[in-house]
Structure 1
């Protein structure tokens, strides 16, 4: 997938806290074992921007091309509320199922109602693309931001949940 030039620089140190949710006007695609498992045009995607976090992208469930199954896992975000997690069976092998790397907020706090039911993916094991550019994961396993060439600044996660110190 060919990447396009970033339209602006995103400095994570200037992102707000509490996080901001807004339409992001970016084309989001997710590939796994050569299959396109999610494809969301820019007009339908949201992102959540939070201080020291790479953007997290949310897409409508109708844009996920494979069935998701809920898992028992649940987490709580002080801003967005209770998260529901999903598993996804590989398009290459039924024996290859990944759990708890996809989530949504089915009943988010009112400030985040725009992403109600929308689906978010960690980067990996699938390939995640923003406007054709392959994203890298936010450091660590706790956060799920997508790092692209336009993301700058100190992104937290390398030391768990600790905020960077300047």
Structure 2
């Protein structure tokens, strides 16, 4: 499938089509807050993001920032760049559990060592994921874990017809 036509970039936006492949890890200067089950489970400014062509950024937070809100989940996956991933169930207030809603790379491949001891979270199952004061939208399609914000121009991997991108 041919690369889609990137959306116009408005002032203050970045195009995900300008992001690199292989992906790049960089420091993020915005605070992340995550709510689940009516409880704030994460509030941190220790954030890195992974940028990859056609994807909204995936944000990684320190495992320690989750306190007791994580437990090992079922399954695993593999990224050709970052390595083997394991999944976590995310625990919120009132006994709410979002199964397999977070993941990390316990032994990341060379170039991605920064991701060791960091966790990424799918925005969809959370009550709210807030990045720098903005409530994010989950990346389309449910498979990928990027966070869509107003400062991004797509189209984004995960929409119908994007499997071959």
Where on the TM-score scale, by shorter chain, does this alignment land: which range?
0.7 to 0.9
8 Å contact from structure 2 (residues 82, 112) kept in 1: yes
* Larger displacement relative to structure 2 (121-130 or 51-60): 121-130
Partner-residue secondary structure (3-state), 2:112: helix
- Counterpart-to-counterpart distance in 2, 1:67 and 1:153: 32
8 Å contact from structure 1 (residues 22, 46) kept in 2: yes
Q: In structure 2, do the counterparts of structure 1 residues 160 and 34 end up closer, same or farther at CA, with 3 Å as the change threshold? A: farther
What TM-score do you get using the length of structure 1 for normalisation? 0.87
1:137 matches 2:141: no
Q: CA deviation at 1:52?
A: 0.4
1:158 matches 2:162: no
Match of 1:50 in 2: 52
* Larger displacement relative to structure 2 (96-105 or 129-138): 96-105
- Counterpart-to-counterpart distance in 2, 1:116 and 1:80: 10
**Ranges in structure 2 where 5+ consecutive residues have no aligned partner:** 1-10
Match of 1:122 in 2: 122
8 Å contact from structure 1 (residues 136, 148) kept in 2: yes
Structure 1, residues 51-108: CA drift from partner, whole Å, max 9, x if none?
A: 0000100011111133311123100001000001011233113xx3221110010000
Which of 63, 66, 73 aligns to 1:64? It is 66
Q: CA RMSD in A?
A: 1.6
What TM-score do you get using the length of structure 2 for normalisation? 0.87
Runs of 4+ with >3 A deviation: none
**Ranges in structure 1 where 5+ consecutive residues have no aligned partner:** 1-6
- Counterpart-to-counterpart distance in 2, 1:67 and 1:31: 11
Residue correspondences, number: 154
Match of 1:32 in 2: 36
